[in-house]
Each structure stands twice: as C-alpha cells, then as structure tokens.
Structure 1
Amino acid sequence: ARYGIPVGQVLLTHADLRQRERHLNARNTLSYLLEAGAIPIINENDTVAVKEIKVGDN
C-alpha cells in the first residue's frame, strides 16, 4: 500500500455474477474488504473466462 490505503483484487467471471451461490460469495468478499477499510479492485478473470461469455473487454 504505497499510500497507506489497503486494496484487494477480486477477479470475477460471468458465472460469478450469474450463479447465486457464487454471487453471494463474491458479495460477501466485497463487503468484508469494505468493512476492513480496503478498496476492492474488481476485474474480469481473463485466464478462465471463455470468449463467448466474457463480460467486457479488458
């Protein structure tokens, strides 16, 4: 944390947003990061996202 601000990277796929259990896990993780005073850095997990279901263009 160069400026003393903690961050946490969260890599998601389309399935993480679509499947309820995975969505709730992601939401809980983001809530925990925010409660801990960290800034979540959210990005698509390109290493496992297949072309047909990619959410956006990174």
Structure 2
Amino acid sequence: MVDIDLLVEALRKRGHKVDGIFKVPDNAGDYEFVVDGNTLNLAETRNLLESEEPK
C-alpha cells in the first residue's frame, strides 16, 4: 500500500508544488501526480524524490 499523503508531504517539503493527485485504473499505474506542472506516475514521483535525497 502506498502512503500518498506521505509522498505529497515529502514533495512539498522539498519545494515542489503538488497541484493534484488522480487515481487511475489499475492497469495504468495506480496514481498520477501533478508536480510542478508536470504529470508523473507513481514510479516517476518516487524517482524524483529519490534523486533529491541527501547523500
């Protein structure tokens, strides 16, 4: 199970603007996020957060 609220909170803490979250059909990736004006699926959103983690 994905904690969507936690993902949105993490994005916002890193300065991203989250305009919306959309539940999509199961075969389409589960969720889409509108981050900084771009539509990202769940995997792309996770990659964005992981790429910004302090080393």
Short-chain TM bin: 0.3 to 0.5
Larger % of strand: which? 2
**TM-score, length-scaled by structure 2:** 0.35
**TM-score, length-scaled by structure 1:** 0.33
Please say which structure displays the higher CA radius of gyration: 1
Q: Bigger relative contact order, structure 1 or 2, given CA contacts below 8 A and separation 6+?
A: 1
